[in-house]
Amino acid sequence: MVGHNTDLPAFKQTLSDKLGDRKRDRAIILGAGGAARAAVVGLCELGFSEITILVRNPERYDISEFYLQNRLIAHDTFNILKVDQFFETQPVASNLIVNSTPLGQSGGHLPPWVDYLFRASKSETFFYDMVYARSEDITPLMKLALIHNLECTDGTAMLVGQAALAFEYWTGKSVPPDVMLNALKAQLAASK
């Protein structure tokens, strides 16, 4: 049996397309689950040299769980910090913010620190929300990022990339990503 991860290649490709020739040195990732782990590897492969992972409970995560090609990526490359600890000790000066959490998916209010993070970001900071907008044009986090004049994207292209890769893994046949995107748009429109 062979397992494949579609998070990493789909995230890396869509982010690379969106970033173009932007500076790639410092990134902040919200969350530390499976999608965040793929983001860490993708960011390292794309040339980011400093990655900070923001979580609510850092004691739940072991930094030794983050590996890149059998090599631990730790301390010199990234750290896991509690949200309030980050704001007490770090300047918000990243080139990229990645949301790998379900923040904003279930409606309700976003935590105040998200607004602070966006407000304190540089104007050239790019926001990548791995969540995709199901029934609206943009996610709640993207709305907030746009209020603070940050360029952003949601996870739709990543989802489409994952679907295309999964289809190819299962069938051995490739499918154009635009076919997957049109199918997703049709399904979302039908569910409104």
N-terminal to C-terminal alpha carbon distance within the chain: 38
Flag whether pLDDT at 129 surpasses 70.
yes
53-111 pLDDT tens trace: 888 776 666 655 555 555 545 445 566 777 777 776 666 678 999 999 988 777 768 88
Euclidean distance between CA atoms 3 and 7, whole angstroms: 12
Flag whether pLDDT at 147 surpasses 90.
yes
Tell me the torsion sign for CA atoms 171, 182, 150, 20.
positive
Flag whether pLDDT at 192 surpasses 80.
no
Check whether domain 7-156 has CATH 3.30.450.20, yes or no: no
Tell me the torsion sign for CA atoms 132, 137, 138, 139.
negative
Domain ranges of the chain: 7-156
Q: Which of 113, 86, 89 is nearest to 28 (CA)?
A: 86
Instruction: Output the average pLDDT for the chain.
Output: 83
Lowest mean pLDDT, pick from 19-33, 87-101, 172-186: 87-101
- What does the pLDDT read at residue 52? 85
Euclidean distance between CA atoms 125 and 22, whole angstroms: 9
Strand partners of residue 71: 68
**And the tokens for 71?**
């090599």
Residue that wins the pLDDT comparison between 158 and 76: 158
- What does the pLDDT read at residue 138? 85
Flag whether pLDDT at 184 surpasses 90.
no
65-93 per-residue burial string, b: 16 or more CB within 10 A, e: under 16: ebeeeeeebeeebbbbbebeebbeeeebe
- What does the pLDDT read at residue 51? 87
- What does the pLDDT read at residue 41? 86
Question: Is 79 strand, coil or helix?
Answer: strand
